[in-house]
Amino acid sequence: MKSSNSRPSRVGRNPFIHELKFTLREKLKIGLMSVTVFPVRLLLVSFFMLLAWPFAFTASLGRSEFVIEPQSWWRRFIDLCLRVIMRAMWFCGGFHWIKVKGERAAPSEAPILTVAPHSSYFDAIPVTMTMCSIVTKLESSSIPVWGTLISYIRPVFVFRSDQDSRRKTVEEIKRRARSGGQWPQIMIFPEGTCTNRSGLILYKAGAFIPGLPVQPVVLRYQNKLYLPVYTPSDEERENPALFASNVRKLMAKALEAPLTDLSFDDREISLSQGPLRVYDYSSLLEFNLLVSRLGQRAGTSEKVLEEQARRARKLQGDRLGLDDFAQFLNLPVTDTLTQVHSMFDQHGDGQIDIRHYVIALSTVHRPSESMKTLKLAFKMYENKEKGEVIEEDLAAILEIMLGVQEVELSGLFLSLDGPDTNKITYDDLHHFIEQHPHFVQKYLDFKNHPRKFCIARPKSCNGKNHDKDD
């Protein structure tokens, strides 16, 4: 699979990986403070958190999560007390001075605050300073002590066990945002996950679907910045994705940070785990973006993949042109579909093997469940008599799953017990991979291979060292 030539690569620095590198001086400082300052800070932070709990618990008694209630004088007093206690807690945690630039808009003017970048638990600081509502999973309310504080700010809970959760969450955000300022402002981190702050990833549309003014809030360590209220145009009200994109550009400019054309869904691909994890995710990330635009990513399920694999097997390797590819997916021919088709056009003749598409779709759908994708691929390629796949086809399968090029399998087949053959069954390959945790490093060869074992044992890289993995 190759990347589309119509747009630059989306992959620069991976925003989901944060590698810490400390100098010797910094390591000594951390070691010293871990046995001196840190225990004192931890004790004080714990004290203030416990002190805040009875206030939050009392104010939450008898309060409805769905009905607008006037803020009584004693609840306003508790709110003030909690802000003071939380500020003292952060002070003891090392955040001595928090600089705020700009003015926070009133709830009636901007019912939603969009905050970015989201990088750590310390991003809760603006929440405790403003006591805004947030969007969080229901399980958060069960966290001892902290869960009571979360419940106090009347968050919009996400019920992950409910398949209709996304729609209900959006409806609740819309209901509160359109209350004319009677509900507290909702603070939303539109990135949807934590990053390393190297750039802003694609925003989720939830904060922008109501089509109401939002106030961007930029987090910087050392300071925090409120930008002017952003009022959407008529076009942006009709198109939440455009609204989200324009707000993201505005916030990236204020941060002087690049835009990273990755999304929450890309996180699993770039952090995939398992014996056949993705090694080069650039082409798969490109593919994931395109199939998401086609609506194929959201509609993918185990059942859909099995059905596509069944239909692909019936074609027996027949190559499909663009029109046939569109018919296979039951989609119209568009620029996006053309780009997807071109990614699998290995010979430049306008024809593709649809099995390659199914393998790629399964890989981005479940990147950390590579053995399921491998089994699905075998169903499309194996012969009916013995369930075997030939070496050439297995190389094509692994090229797509690993995101690499020019896979060479002589090392694998030389290491297999049994007759000298260039065929293998899924069960035999699965067993071999289980027995050799470093299967990819030791028994495969491909372009730009990460040869971790070549310095000490060069023969292990071309398959001629048959020693078992440690």
Give the CA distances from residue 153 to residues 117, 138, 143, 183, in Å, rounded to whole numbers and listed in that order.
22, 14, 15, 11
Compute and round to an integer the Cα radius of gyration of the chain.
27
- Banded model confidence at residue 267, pLDDT cuts 50, 70, 90: confident
CA 77 to CA 66: how far, in whole Å? 22
Q: Report the b/e string of 296-319 with b at 16+ CB within 10 A.
A: bbeebeeeebeebbeebbeeeeeb
Provide CB contacts within 8 A for 367, sequence distance 6+. 268, 269, 272, 277, 278, 284
Per mean pLDDT, which range of 221-230, 280-289, 293-302, 402-411 is the poorest? 293-302
Question: Which two three-digit tokens encode residue 238?
Answer: 């009709």
Residue 417 has pLDDT above 80, yes or no: no
Per mean pLDDT, which range of 21-25, 397-401, 459-463 is the poorest? 459-463
At how many degrees (to 10) do helices 37-60 and 73-92 cross? 170
Q: What is the DSSP letter of 200?
A: B
Give the CA distances from residue 277 to residues 56, 69, 110, in Å, rounded to whole numbers and listed in that order.
45, 51, 44
Q: What mean pLDDT is reported for the chain?
A: 85
pLDDT in tens, 143-193: 888 899 998 999 998 887 677 788 888 899 999 999 888 888 999 999 988
CA 290 to CA 294: how far, in whole Å? 6
Residue 10 has pLDDT above 60, yes or no: no
pLDDT in tens, 380-396: 998 888 888 998 999 99
Pairing between β-strand 214-219 and β-strand 112-116 as defined by DSSP bridges: parallel
Domain ranges of the chain: 24-262, 267-461
Mean pLDDT on 28-48: 94
Residue 227 in contact with residue 218, Cβ under 8 Å? yes
Percent composition of the chain: helix, strand, coil (DSSP 3-state, to 5): 45, 10, 45
What pLDDT does 211 receive? Answer: 93
Tokens 């890309």, located at residue: 266
Instruction: Give DSSP secondary structure letters for 153-187.
Output: T--EEE-TT-TTHHHHHHHHHHHHHTSTT-SPPEE
Looking at residue 107, its amino acid is: P
Looking at residue 263, its amino acid is: S
Q: Phi first, then psi: what are they for 430, rounded to 5°?
A: -60, -45
pTM: 0.75
- Total length of the chain: 470
